[in-house]
């Protein structure tokens, strides 16, 4: 009997270490001294974009041209890598192919060793002109395809053949409908803000962590909203955690991911319960005014009830939201 227990206990301990412990209220785990998101974290290569999609959840159509400095990215990721690691690091934007030195940025991310694999997320419009040696910096290139950016079958075959020769995986994802994300007048209904946050899988299940200018955010929307609001009602960085190598940083970050309190940005964001509409692009100068509405105007209440029911069911049955 004792012999059997001696065999089972180390096995259970090892398997617990391999899997780690879930971080409550998030999709992340704590394993071998580090936080691991469910899949990936993301870096904004640039803020701006060559498209003006109405429901861009990074607010890129109104971002001033700006790009990430590879040496700053390395410094931040290297510091963060003491407490955090991800399976994938996604290089996103804006449109990341607008970065003036994408190869140096990719190298900086790899050198930090914060992620095992590197993914580029692009609308693909500039891909054809990009040099092979830059594209080879990535393990996976994911192209978001919209109704107005579809490629013909020949162009797709050529692209696939090129990526195969470069040994880079390629994934094309079509998006026809979008859920509305931003309501820049927000809401004063605290209960509604809490409901939006509670049902937000970006914060609680998918863990779309964004690392930007020395801060870690639960979601890209938090940083984007702070920059967009007139007069900066939310100070940039207020909804994130400043990266540090100091003692206590790991606990601070775990506390941030576990928190049940909405971010300041959740007052102006629809999470996953905004109304849905077909993808469309709009004139850049009209983008902000088209989002100058209240949260209540954009909420899909049926989707909100459905998300709450799903969450309640999953909690009762001990399952995670999928």
Binding region for ligand SF4 (CB under 6 A): 196-197, 200, 202-203, 218-219, 221-222, 263, 265-266, 269, 271
Q: Which is nearer to ligand SF4, 99 or 218 (CB)?
A: 218
Q: Rounded CA gap, 126 and 308, in Å?
A: 40
Enumerate residues 6+ apart whose C-beta is below 8 A from 27: 37, 38, 204, 205, 206, 207, 320
Residue 23 CB, shortest distance to ligand SF4, in Å, is 15
| Pick 89 or 183: Cβ nearer ligand SF4 | 183
CB of 226 to ligand SF4, least distance (A): 10
Q: How far is the CB of 205 from ligand SF4 (least distance, A)?
A: 11
Task: Compare residues 57 and 137 and give the one whose CB is closer to ligand SF4.
Answer: 57
CB 73 within 8 A of CB 118: no
CB of 224 to ligand SF4, least distance (A): 9
- CB of residue 26 to ligand SF4, shortest distance in Å: 11
Smallest separation (angstroms) from ligand SF4 to the CB of 218: 5
- Nearer to ligand SF4 (CB atom), residue 147 or residue 175: 175
Closer by beta carbon to ligand SF4, 43 or else 226: 226
Q: Quick one: 79 or 304, whose CB is closer to ligand SF4?
A: 304
């Amino acid at each position: 009997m004792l012999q059997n227990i001696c065999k089972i206990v180390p096995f259970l301990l090892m398997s617990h270490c391999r899997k780690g412990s879930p971080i409550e209220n998030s999709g992340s785990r704590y394993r071998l001294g580090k936080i691991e998101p469910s899949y990936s974290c993301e870096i904004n290569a640039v803020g701006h974009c060559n498209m003006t999609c109405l429901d861009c959840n990074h607010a890129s159509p109104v971002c001033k041209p700006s790009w990430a400095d590879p040496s700053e990215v390395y410094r931040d990721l290297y510091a963060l890598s003491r407490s955090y690691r991800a399976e994938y690091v996604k290089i996103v934007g804006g449109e990341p192919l607008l970065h003036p030195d994408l190869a140096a940025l990719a190298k900086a991310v790899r050198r930090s060793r914060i992620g095992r694999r590197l993914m580029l997320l692009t609308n693909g419009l500039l891909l054809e002109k990009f040099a092979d040696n830059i594209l080879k910096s990535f393990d996976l290139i994911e192209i978001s395809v919209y109704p107005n950016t579809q490629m013909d079958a020949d162009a797709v075959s050529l692209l696939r053949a090129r990526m195969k020769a470069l040994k880079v995986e390629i994934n094309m994802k079509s998006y026809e409908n979008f859920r509305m994300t931003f309501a820049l007048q927000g809401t004063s209904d605290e209960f509604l803000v809490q409901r939006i946050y509670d049902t937000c899988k970006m914060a609680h299940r998918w863990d779309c962590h964004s690392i930007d200018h020395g801060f870690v955010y639960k979601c890209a929307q938090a940083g984007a909203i702070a920059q967009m609001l007139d007069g900066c009602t939310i100070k940039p960085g207020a909804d994130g955690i400043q990266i540090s190598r100091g003692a206590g940083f790991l606990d601070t970050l775990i506390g941030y991911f576990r928190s049940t309190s909405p971010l300041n940005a959740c007052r102006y964001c629809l999470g996953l319960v905004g109304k849905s509409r077909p993808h469309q692009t709009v004139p850049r100068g009209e983008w902000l005014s088209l989002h100058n509405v209240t949260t209540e105007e954009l909420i899909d209440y049926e989707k909100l009830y459905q998300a709450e029911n799903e969450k309640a069911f999953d909690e009762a049955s001990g399952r995670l939201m999928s």
